[in-house]
A and B are shown apart, each in its own frame.
Chain A
């Protein structure tokens, strides 16, 4: 019964503590004014929050035994944090909300299967060296008779909300796109017969079709990928120091062959030709 007044009474103490903390924080900021706010905060807290997409498959999934995030995106995020000298805080994001997570400061960086395009480049900052290249491919029923992108004209196509393939599918190929919350719902909708194709990153569809008996009736017959684009690490706009620090790490990843090894370790097939290309470029002085 008496705990209530006791809990609320020492407010002068709390506020004086806050004041001390604030002064300390201000002092630190003034002392370390050479880096941008995010890099400062990462160094100060010893922690970096990185948003990752875990859509299942080798690029990011949850290990059912340990509940840990595993796969390509989490691996990259962990190593990036290590190279930045900070502890990693992995935050799961969706393609539909990842930009808001970054802009609102819930995460400092995004390694979220998010490819570069000019619109995104306008509003966000990114490390210019790509760590991968991803294009879209279509999963269709093997009996559907679809063999090229043009065959999708006028047909209903499932995708995820926020996918960059929506625009070319609608404008270039005249498909009717239905966007679902995530790729999981979109793929379920494909199997429910609500669309003739589900278009997602080839890096998601290829392993899914290859490794699943449930998907035996489906294939990815369209050979050329739609909108192949470089995957980059995203940061908030104008944070030049953070971006420079991240880019240095990405270049080092290429130089040391760590990305190629990580790709192999996660069982990603077929291997991305961009990786050896960039390794050669960064190795040459």
Chain B
């Protein structure tokens, strides 16, 4: 039943010059759907992982201890100033090969291309989160910190109970901005043959040459994902709004 419906939809689109015949091929259709799933998985893993990395790096950057600040700053500059694709190639093609050659594990190298994408994208975006959070942390008024200190807060309590909650509210718009960028960035996975939606589409269009049709689908899909992310961001902004603070 749904097959005939699909067939009718494809036929209707063909009249306007769009060739979506690939959805009638079970193999291509399942490959494309799998691609959508992998992109979703990548987003669901990299969003929390990048935020965690961001909090850690921001904590190091604002710790005031030179042995923490300097390596963190070096990492931020290195990561921020090189392209993600280059980092991914370096990690997957160079680092991964070295690991495979030198670590002889019984089950082989446990780091799959998928894992490398999650690591590289999370760290790359984590750095941007860290800078956004640092701006937020540094915007916390000195008197607020003094008040907290006079209440006997330790350095760690100060960070987790006072600075981060306030910094998060300051930084939220740029964090959401970063997350929208992160969703789009997952497309680099296609470069090392991780089967995200971009990769599966490339594999289909190199056989069928229906580039325009697939790119339209990819645009709609990423548009939908980023719209959801910014929707969630706006909802959080509303929810976390503190009367009398910031606005």
Contacts and interface: CB of A to CB of B under 8 A. Distances in A.
B109 interface: yes
Interface in A130-188: 158, 161-163, 166-167, 170-171, 178-181, 185, 188
Contact of A180 (B97, B100, B192): B192
A272 interface: no
A181 B113 contact: no
A119 B22 CA distance: 13
B193 A119 contact: no
Given A123-B209, A161-B206, A178 B93 contact: no
Contact of B191 (A119, A162, A181): A181
Contacts of A123: 209
Contact of B207 (A100, A158, A167, A178): A167
Contact of A192 (B97, B199, B208, B209): B97
Contacts of A95: 206
A180 B203 contact: no
Contact of B209 (A99, A161, A166): A99
A242 B43 CA distance: 48
A247 to B, nearest CB: 23
Contacts of B96: 192, 194
Contact of A179 (B27, B100, B193): B193
A167 B206 CA distance: 11
Specify the main secondary structure of chain B where it touches its partner.
helix
B90 to A, nearest CB: 12
Contacts of A100: 211
B113 to A, nearest CB: 7
Interface string B188-216: 00011100000100110011110100000
Contacts of A27: none
Interface centre among B27, B93, B113 (most CB of A within 10 A): B93
Nearest to B109: A193
B209 A119 contact: yes
Nearest to B89: A185
B106 interface: no
B22 to A, nearest CB: 12
Contacts of B244: none
A255 interface: no
Interface in A76-115: 95-96, 99-100
A47 interface: no
Contact of B113 (A119, A163, A171, A194): A194
Contacts of A194: 96, 113
Nearest to A120: B209
A192 B93 contact: yes
B100 A192 contact: yes
Contacts of A162: 202, 206
A167 B209 CA distance: 14
Contacts of B27: 170-171
Contacts of B209: 99, 119-120, 123
B30 to A, nearest CB: 12
A185 B193 CA distance: 10
A96 B190 CA distance: 12
A145 to B, nearest CB: 16
Contacts of A167: 207
B202 A189 contact: no
A185 B211 contact: no
Given A188-B93, A192-B97, A180 B193 contact: yes
B88 to A, nearest CB: 11
Contacts of A178: 113, 193
Contacts of A120: 209
B108 interface: yes
A194 B207 CA distance: 24
A95 B209 CA distance: 12
Contacts of B97: 188, 191-193
Nearest to A194: B113
B193 A158 contact: yes
6 contacts: A100-B211, A162-B202, A178-B113, A179-B206, A189-B193, A191-B97
Interface of A: 95-96, 99-100, 119-120, 123, 158, 161-163, 166-167, 170-171, 178-181, 185, 188-189, 191-194
Which 9 pairs from chain A and chain B are nearest by CB? A162-B206, A178-B193, A192-B97, A193-B100, A188-B93, A161-B202, A192-B96, A180-B193, A179-B203
Given A185-B192, A192-B96, A192-B100, 7 more contacts: A96-B202, A119-B209, A161-B199, A163-B206, A178-B193, A193-B109, A194-B113
